[in-house]
Amino acid sequence: MEIEIIFEDEDLLVLEKPAGITVNRSDTTKGERTVQDWMGQYIKGAEVAPPRRGSSRDFSPSQDFITRSGIVHRLDKETSGILLVAKNQEAFENLQQQFKERRVKKVYTALVHGKVVPSDGEIRVPVGRLPWNRKRFGVVAGGREAVTKYKVIRCFEVRNGKWDSESLNSRNQDVNPSADGSSSKISHFSLLEIYPETGRTHQIRVHLKHIGHPVFSDPLYAGRKTARNDRKVLFRMFLHASKIWFTHPKTEKLISFESPLPEELNELLNLLHS
């Protein structure tokens, strides 16, 4: 799986990040290739690019543009899709300001457990780190404001429960009622379009868990048993950053980009539809 370029000009890159690649370097990513490492190879000197002539801002090695290699926002390791990267400090600051003012609009696609009702809605509860587990987030008192809107695209029904992961891997899976026509077990799933109004860490995943519809194959928030069963049929989380709209930092024109679902996510939808 390789990072692909959707769009590039002298100010920015729009990347398509596959699942399984971490965006930012950290102490826990030693020996792991990150998007930052990719940036260092693709654009020589991107991490120390000076401001353009005439810039009123002083160049400082401590600025976020350098330490983050121009990466304006982040995606979780198992989330695929669109990632925005600035190629100079001015573009970086402009795009960051757009995110701060919530002028950047993003759409995610997610498959979740259960039949989501109502078919469109808004989740507005604060998100923060869990006091007893600082690596995870949840709905906590005193957390940061977080708003997620969603719309149900399609609902799926799987009868008589268990999926055969070997059959799925061979792309020859059938899910049928039992021989006597009974439905001893029915599992429901919903395909959602998600519109985050804020950008808190793990916000979408936490919010969907909060309303009782965790993301399919989410290793942190779906529950241990559920995630273990999910990952027999899908090795990654079903969450994809599919669309983005923002104002170009130089031309000031509104531009948008889309990213289709990766093959493995489409395969699972086809399985559910069969």
Q: Which residues are designated catalytic? A: 76
Contact indicator for 84, 72 with CB cutoff of 8 Å = yes
| Pairing of β 127-130 and β 80-86 | unpaired
Going from the C-alpha of 271 to that of each of 26, 116, 167, 221, 234, the distances in angstroms are 37, 20, 10, 23, 11
Task: Classify residue 252 as left (phi > 0), alpha (psi -120 to 50) or beta.
Answer: left
Count the Cβ atoms, other than its own, within 10 Å of residue 171.
Answer: 9
Nearest CA-CA partner of 270 in 168, 198, 144, 188: 168
In the numeric block, which tokens belong to residue 213?
């519809």
Residue 144 DSSP symbol: B
Nearest CA-CA partner of 17 in 30, 35, 41: 35
Contact indicator for 207, 196 with CB cutoff of 8 Å = no
Q: Distance (Å, rounded) from C-alpha 153 to C-alpha 185?
A: 23
Count the Cβ atoms, other than its own, within 10 Å of residue 79.
Answer: 23
Q: Distance (Å, rounded) from C-alpha 186 to C-alpha 65?
A: 50
HSE, CB side, 13 Å, CA atoms: give it for residue 27. Answer: 0
